[in-house]
Amino acid sequence: MGPQTKVGFVGLDDLSLELTASLLRSGYAVQAFEIFGPLMDDFSKSGGIKCACPAEAGKDVAALVVLISHIDQVNETMFGQHGALQGLCKDTVIILRSTIDTQYVQQFEEHLKEIAQTHLLVDAYVCRGKSEALDGKVMIACSGKSDAIARVERILSAMCSRLYTFKSEVGTASKIKLVNELLEGIHLVASSEALVLGTQAGIHPWIIYDIISNAAGNSWVFKNHVPQVLRGNLTKHHFLNNLVQVLRNILDVATMLKFPLPLLAVAHQQLIAGSSHGHGDDDDVTLLKVWEKVLGINIANAANAETYSPEHLAEQVTRHSNSVNRIGFIGLGAMGFGMAIHLLKSNFCVIGYDVYEPTLSRFVKAGGMIGSSPAEISKDVDVLVIMVTNEAQAQSVLYGELGAVAGNLDKRPNCIKVSAEGKRRVIIRWISGRDRQNALADDFDSDGFQVLGDKGDETRALIWAEGRLRRSGKICAKGG
């Protein structure tokens, strides 16, 4: 095959094997050099050509993909006696897939210009997509001069499911990697703190995971990291040491740019604290044990305290609960409407109220009933669900003139009213039978309302009543 159909690799890892396999399936010839024998064996089995040195891997290729994890590898791999440059054609494009800092990528380009003069460089950030659309498939972000990108764009496209190109100076792809690692570091620390906070508050760790992994607070790190924590088989401690260094590099870049990263700085310090509790690169020390030492709680014991099954929990709740036939629903917004519809589909009788008429029409078409006020829909319901956005709305639908409480004062648990007694006003509250058993009989009137105060004349009593209720966060409902 000619140079335009051959791609070389210097350095392989597990992800590289997927890249080479994709190229081979696309009809390219692929040759590679790697010092780790098992990787080379896997590469050869897939149809690749083994090479004895970097120079051989770079011979007659249109593009050379170079995997470098440390700046010290550059001289030996590229510029040494058997370095890749010895075998490259003048128009070969070097695709640098590295974990070195952006400044070193740019220095590498300058060094290439000085020594080889005509070689073109593209830097590439390669990773597996975590979205539902990509689901582990390879995506690549690359940057470089326009002519360099143009020469290798088809090769890069053949290696991945999604390609992002930045026709600019080299280093942009490395900056994308930097931003991603910033978020991963912060999410890791935040996920650990959230898990420990919930556990310390008495919530079963698996319940925390089940809820948060389906809620707005979820992230890929949380969803994939927390189960490993709870099972106690997380990545070993050397991963933590490596992450500390990665975040340190990001902070150094931010310092050069004079850009503050307060959240990352805190996350970095937390990881340093965790790393200091380990034993260097001891593979027997899991990240779980590190967090337990740092945060003072045994997450594994809490996770294993009892078997958690959402279905079993739901069965227990429904077995011991009273039957529910009629449900009132105040607030049919985006979330409330969905909840109310789900109740209808579960064969509950639901009567709803919302201030937005089109929503009420939609609800009726879906099989629900509607009321003209919170007071109307709360009559004779077994459960009243209130979905509002703030405290003022909650007070209005509960204690307003046509509120659920104010409109239904007759023997509603914990309802409050001002009642006439001769020429005086007293504040009274209806108390459930169970609570009333523990109170003195003369604390209640004949209807079962507890006397909260007696302030003599009518005007002073009413002012006192309203003031007391407003201070407690409730609005006084007047009755006679």
Query: Would you place residue 80 in the very low, low, confident or very high pLDDT band (cuts 50, 70, 90)?
Result: confident
Domain assignment present for residue 199? The answer is yes
Domain assignment present for residue 348? The answer is yes
Residues 166 and 184 placed together within one structural domain of the fold: no
> In the chain, pLDDT over 90 holds for what percent of residues?
42
Q: Which amino acid is at 435?
A: D
Residues 191 and 278 placed together within one structural domain of the fold: yes
Classify residue 323 by its DSSP letter: P
Domain assignment present for residue 478? The answer is no
Cα separations in angstroms, 149 against 122, 157, 411: 7, 11, 77
Q: What CATH number corresponds to the domain at position 240?
A: 1.10.1040.10
- Per-residue pLDDT tens digits for 383-420: 899 998 888 888 888 888 888 886 564 444 433 333 33
> Where a domain ends, among 303, 333, 358?
303
Within 8 A by CB and 6+ apart from 438, the residues are: none
Domain assignment present for residue 312? The answer is no
Higher pLDDT, 277 or 362: 362
Residues 217 and 328 placed together within one structural domain of the fold: no
Domain assignment present for residue 410? The answer is no
Residues 182 and 256 placed together within one structural domain of the fold: yes
Residues 185 and 165 placed together within one structural domain of the fold: no
Count other C-beta atoms under 10 Å from residue 176's C-beta. 18
Domain assignment present for residue 317? The answer is no
Residues 245 and 290 placed together within one structural domain of the fold: yes
Residues 21 and 151 placed together within one structural domain of the fold: yes
Query: Would you place residue 320 in the very low, low, confident or very high pLDDT band (cuts 50, 70, 90)?
Result: low
Q: Is the pLDDT of residue 430 over 90?
A: no
Higher pLDDT, 290 or 162: 162
Q: Is 56 helix (H, G, I), strand (E, B) or coil?
A: helix
Closest by CA position to 217, among listed 198, 200, 235, 231: 198
Joined together, the tokens standing for residue 359 give 């929503």
Give the per-residue pLDDT at 196: 86
Residues 95 and 200 placed together within one structural domain of the fold: no
Classify residue 444 by its DSSP letter: B
Q: Cα–Cα distance between 278 and 120 in angstroms, integer? A: 44
User: How many DSSP H helices and E strands does the chain contain?
Assistant: 20, 15
Residues 218 and 166 placed together within one structural domain of the fold: no
Residues 140 and 242 placed together within one structural domain of the fold: no
**Structural domain count, the chain:** 4
pTM to 2 decimals?
Answer: 0.69
Q: Cα–Cα distance between 433 and 158 in angstroms, integer? A: 74
- Per-residue pLDDT tens digits for 197-221: 888 888 889 999 999 999 999 999 9
Query: Would you place residue 158 in the very low, low, confident or very high pLDDT band (cuts 50, 70, 90)?
Result: very high
Q: Cα–Cα distance between 171 and 96 in angstroms, integer? A: 10
DSSP states along 325-393 = -EEEEE--SHHHHHHHHHHHHTT-EEEEE-S-HHHHHHHHHTT-EE-SSHHHHTTT-SEEEE--SSHHH
**Domain membership of residue 102 as a residue range:** 3-170
Domain assignment present for residue 219? The answer is yes
Classify residue 473 by its DSSP letter: T
Residues 68 and 188 placed together within one structural domain of the fold: no
Domain assignment present for residue 476? The answer is no
Classify residue 306 by its DSSP letter: S
> Where a domain ends, among 170, 205, 234?
170
Within 8 A by CB and 6+ apart from 71, the residues are: 100, 101, 104
Residues 391 and 446 placed together within one structural domain of the fold: no
The least confident of 33-42, 103-112, 328-337 is 103-112
Give the per-residue pLDDT at 141: 95
> Where a domain ends, among 120, 137, 170?
170
Q: What CATH number corresponds to the domain at position 54?
A: 3.40.50.720
- Per-residue pLDDT tens digits for 25-74: 999 999 999 999 999 999 999 999 999 999 999 999 999 999 987 777 77
CA-based diameter of the chain, in Å? 109
Q: What is the mean pLDDT of the chain?
A: 79
